[in-house]
Structure 1
């Protein structure tokens, strides 16, 4: 079984908090990780367990043998108030590890219930480092330390990882047909079990159509009006659909960076799907050949980089924020990573060659502000190439 980068953080959280929420999309490995840390385990996906929990939440919590993991807590949000009452009268750190495939703390009725009593930990699909058996290595820390050691990775294997994504079960799939069947099942199950339950969706067909319209837009500026027009629904419906996808960890909206004085900025977020395997499925890409020939190759590779950055930000040694950057005169940088007053500006190229022109917007950004900015271009070549003392091109094997 592959080790997860979040495991040490999860163990520490259980030492210092009575409740820890392990949240992430379905099938990312929450249950597997929780089972390694808890002897006692109850699953709210089980109908009889869920009925019991909803019938008398206080009694249900009292009768559980602690410490305990309560899996899929969003199935019985009534338990949150009971957890609060129990903790307020009998507070012991590590008593409750709860998991959720929907972000229950973003729901209006539960937002303030556990304030001050809970630590949230985000679990993502497997990172490239986790797949390689290096869960302790953090690429965000390495970027800021300028530790650019790389182990060569065959181009084909990188492309296969883009197509497969990071869900643990998807790594076991060997043929395009197996991938198609698994991802089709994942999407339909997600719609039936999470999106429908979370929002009481009345028009599943429109929501499914929305998913297909959204996938080709990964890496693009969010435009709700265009989405509404293409899907054939109101803008308010699109906002509801986007909220559902965010709460169930299927998309990420990367906010704009606009701290430079004297520039006019695009202030819309950029949209990214949270797994390139899901994105590839929606785009009909199931082989290296179809990826290389696809109009969406660059977008999928940029989505891969975004997901890798987010996974490593979740356990970086310092608080880190991720932004995108674009001015009204179309000076664009794919990603801005910020730690305190230090910034790494990142561009993503799907080609195997790189030159100084690929750094032009980064260099302009370096000149425009007073912060410490280091520039990185990720590309499909094999070597670490220094352009100057503040700019470097890194091969995609850096992620491994």
Structure 2
């Protein structure tokens, strides 16, 4: 069965499943896990991407970038001896948070965008999450493909190249 094969791929560290977080905020939630490849280069190869120029214009560029960042969060947590405690959150209307970091009772939403130029719309999901949670000052982070680190509307905006152990 498909689940048996996925289990083999997980045990071989070829893929990992990111499970949904079930805190519902009185919404209907999507409960199907997301599948990520542990090796972004392998995923790109399977998509037929052979050089950086192809990646620049590929339809799956954003998905590969999300895979890269999610995998870095997972590896950093494992390297620190932590449980993964990584989830995603999506409601039935399509509102999604790419990563939810769980540390005890604390939750930290992380949005991932491949765009190299920050645009305010990148924060929309994080702001809606805060509104639904009833905690407008909840720590949140946007990881994006650009170069400039900043704080916008009390959300940490961080270039993927500047992620460090303290961010995980």
Question: Is the TM value for this pair above 0.5?
Answer: yes
Is the counterpart of residue 245 in structure 1 residue 9 in structure 2?
A: yes
1:190 aligned partner? none
Aligned ranges 1:224-235 → 2 under 5 Å: none
Whose helix proportion is higher, 1 or 2? 1
Report the secondary structure of 1:374's partner residue.
coil
Report the secondary structure of 1:263's partner residue.
coil
Report the secondary structure of 1:338's partner residue.
strand
Shift of residue 247, structure 1, vs aligned partner: 1.7
Q: TM-score, normalised by structure 1?
A: 0.39
Shift of residue 341, structure 1, vs aligned partner: 2.2
Shift of residue 260, structure 1, vs aligned partner: 3.1
Shift of residue 352, structure 1, vs aligned partner: 1.3
1:381 aligned partner? 146
Distance 1:378 1:281 in 2: 24
Q: TM-score, normalised by structure 2?
A: 0.88
Shift of residue 368, structure 1, vs aligned partner: 1.8
Distance 1:364 1:296 in 2: 25
1:392 aligned partner? 156
Distance 1:369 1:340 in 2: 16
Could you tell me which runs of 5 or more consecutive residues in structure 1 were left unpaired when the two chains were aligned. Answer: 1-236
Whose strand proportion is higher, 1 or 2? 2
Shift of residue 370, structure 1, vs aligned partner: 5.4
Aligned residues: 163
Report the secondary structure of 1:382's partner residue.
coil
Is the counterpart of residue 284 in structure 1 residue 48 in structure 2?
A: yes
Deviations 1:201-255 (A, max 9, x none): xxxxxxxxxxxxxxxxxxxxxxxxxxxxxxxxxxxx2122112111211110100
Could you tell me which runs of 5 or more consecutive residues in structure 2 were left unpaired when the two chains were aligned. Answer: none
User: Cα–Cα, structure 1 residues 398 and 250, in superposed 2: closer, same or farther, change >3 Å?
Assistant: same
1:152 aligned partner? none
2:67 aligned partner? 303
